Amino acid sequence: MKSFDKFSLLYQEAQKLKRSISTNRILVLMLIFPFFASNWSCAAKRNIEEKKIIYQDNKVIPENILDEARIALSFYPELEDVQIEFKYKKGIKKSFMQAQPKIVDLFKGKKERSYYVLMSSKFLIQDEEFSIDEVPSEVLIGWLGHELGHIMDYLDKSATELLKFGTGYITSENFVSKAERKADTYAINRGMGNYIFATKDFILNHSNLPDSYKRRKARLYLSPAEILAMVNSLEDDDLEEIEEEES
């Protein structure tokens, strides 16, 4: 669907809800529409024509990342009934992946929304091209787990709250940092700490990635040391629970 058609559809939805949504909110929606369309949060050069697999009846996953996606999803039982499409997309900037609600579902009820995890077919940083072929499986699982953490964050947000989220994401680096750290925290709290650590370690120690990219990730995301501290804390809590049950 062309951008103009998408905008027209979005505008029609806004008109239907004009009694409950103020003019200012509609204007905000129009201003940040490009963000929803192509620029929401966090590698990948694979064949975009890969066969797609239907998983859990409501997940669409390219066959060549099926194993990694299934593992990442297994840590999020809350997402079992949520429609998610993992999709290759051209033109993603500054990240390998993005998690975002589908535009046509934005004004539906929270339980009726569906989401994308968009993956770049080519990742370009400072005129250097990188590929998902260079990424180990456990790192890819961590990346997917991080994006699913974003979707967890979106689930309970109203349409207005999602619009505010989008505005904050494109206007405030401090907001971006809080959102990215929250997505990491969702994943770690669900037992994906080792995968998230592997992803951060890969980014920060991958010699082919530009230093400017590494610095940005180090500044905005949880550090490997913070991730390990959270994992150790969760393990200590689990141990205390086991000891209490045995006593």
Q: What is the pLDDT of residues 11-31, one digit of tens each?
A: 455 455 444 444 444 444 444
The residue that leads in pLDDT, 165 or 120, is 165
What is the pairing mode between strands 128-130 and 123-125? Answer: antiparallel
Q: What is the pLDDT of residues 26-83, one digit of tens each?
A: 444 444 444 454 444 443 344 445 689 999 999 999 998 999 999 999 999 999 999 9
pLDDT of 165 strictly over 80: yes
pTM: 0.77
Residue 157 phi, psi (nearest 5): -85, 140
1-5, 136-140, 141-145, 240-244, range with the lowest pLDDT: 1-5
Per-residue pLDDT, 112? 92
Nearest 10 degrees: CA dihedral of 16, 18, 19, 20? 100
Q: Say what angle helices 193-205 and 211-220 make with each other, to 10 degrees.
A: 150
Q: What is the pLDDT of residues 78-122, one digit of tens each?
A: 999 999 999 988 777 667 889 999 989 888 889 899 999 999 866
CA–CA separation, 54 vs 196, rounded Å? 26
